[in-house]
């Protein structure tokens, strides 16, 4: 992760985890507009490092 983000590992991990959490929270806040499979695809594409 440190190589992918080019920042220290402890910060890269925070970024990685928060990207996942914020995406899920946004999905929930928007009343689950997208099907779970679509959300999984979005997460996979956005955090694929």
The pLDDT assigned to 41 comes to 95
The predicted structure's pLDDT at residue 27: 98
Whether 3 is in a domain gets the answer no
Note whether residue 18 is domain-resident: yes
Domain contains 1 = no
CA separation, residue 47 to residues 4, 5, 6, 31, 32 (Å): 11, 11, 15, 22, 20
pLDDT digits 0-9 by tens, 1-42: 667 778 898 888 898 899 899 999 999 999 999 999 999 999
Residues 4 and 48 sit within 8 Å (Cβ to Cβ): no
* pLDDT reported for residue 49: 59
Is 23 part of a structural domain of the chain? Answer: yes
Report pTM.
0.76
Number of domains in the chain: 1
Residue range of the domain that includes 18: 9-47
Residue 23's H or E segment, with its range, is: helix 9-29
């Amino acid at each position: 992760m440190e190589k992918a983000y080019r920042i220290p590992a402890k910060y890269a991990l925070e970024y990685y985890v928060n990207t996942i959490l914020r995406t899920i929270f946004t999905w929930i806040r928007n009343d689950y507009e997208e099907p779970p499979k679509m959300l999984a695809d979005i997460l996979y594409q956005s955090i694929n490092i």
